[in-house]
Amino acid sequence: MEDISKKIALSGIQPTGSVTLGNYLGAVQNWRKMQEDFSSIFFIADMHALTVKREPADLRQASMSFFAQLLACGIDPEKAIVYFQSHVHQHAELQWILNCNTYVGEISRMTQFKDKSAKHADNINMGLMDYPVLMAADILLFQTDLVPVGQDQKQHLELTRDIAIRFNNRYGDTFKVPEPYIPELGAKICSLQDPLVKMSKSDPDPNAIVSIVDDEATIVRRFKRAVTDSGNEIVVREDKPGISNLINIYAAIEGKTPADVEKEFAGQGYGSFKIAVGEAVAAAFKPLRDDYVRYLNDKAALMELAKKGAEKASWLATKTLRKVRKRVGLVE
């Protein structure tokens, strides 16, 4: 983070499930590029994960696993700050101050709150509603310039910008107003069981996803079970979402165009193509899985990296929070 000429980019990921093929091609690969181009901050959003019911031991294990997965995917603690959100108390402290500058009407309009409330009707808690303000604190705490956002987070980033502008207008210039970062478009990877929806790490059907922690046999088996379409042509076409999804996956993994893939497998059947895609993904994920296992098997070293990341993040966060506390009138 020493290079002040670089813009600051920040992204967090909740420790739910595992880093899937969709996450890897659509987001994490771009994070690897971000750490070369920007002063990058990546965190495990374990505090956000508390909004839904989780067994404590499961959450702890999943958080450690995700930290190891990010490192295995090429996120380098020497090039970026990587840490657990809960290890930097300034996130929660800034959230409270921002809560006092956020209107109830703004929060009640958040579509994700409505969606998650419907999914977790037995646990509609204040954390679920206040999630966007914690996200705003995550971003504003580091004077972030750029935030990679998907369609489901655009509304939250807009709220963050509104909160920052309102705070700056009331108390004086305090926060950078972050901009959305639109990375290079990664391949859109869909579920292996429902190719009309995006592959999700929280999908309850294990056959719908493959992840970097899966072994070769599991990956190939899930591709063998992948939903395809009627006919036997291996082509990208709107009326063939299943085979189009598999073509896009193979093309992204092999660094080819979909047209190249169509030529390569012209005249072949779905069965042999699904095996080829599975084997290509398994081969690409093997070094990642090996690194993941290595990191996870040395928990002391893993926690030392997390500690160093939290110390760097806390140093930056303290600078912002000190300014915020002074602005709102808290006694030094």
**Residues tagged active-site:** 116, 198, 201
How far, rounded to the nearest angstrom, does the alpha carbon of residue 273 sit from its chain's CA centroid? 30
Q: Return phi, psi of residue 179, to 5°.
A: -110, 150
Q: How far apart are CA 124 and CA 105, in angstroms?
A: 17
Calpha distance 256→66 (Å, rounded) = 29
User: Is residue 280 within 8 Å of 251, Cβ to Cβ?
Assistant: no
Tell me how far apart the alpha carbons of residues 113 and 6 are, in angstroms, rounded to a whole number: 34
The answer to whether residues 128 and 47 touch, using CB atoms and an 8 Å cutoff, is no
Vertex 179, ends 174 and 180: CA angle to 5°? 145
Q: Does an H or E element contain 242, and which?
A: helix 241-254
56 CB contacts (<8 Å, ≥6 apart)? Answer: none
Q: Indicate the length of the chain as a whole number.
A: 332
DSSP 21-35: HHHIIIIIHHHHHHH
CA 125 to chain centre: 23
13 beta partners:
44
Structure tokens at 194: 């429902």
- Asked if 220 and 279 touch (Cβ cutoff 8 Å), the reply is yes
Structural element, H or E, at residue 82: strand 80-84
| Tokens 């019911």, residue located | 53
The residue written with tokens 């996956």 in the block is 249
d(CA 308, CA 305): 5
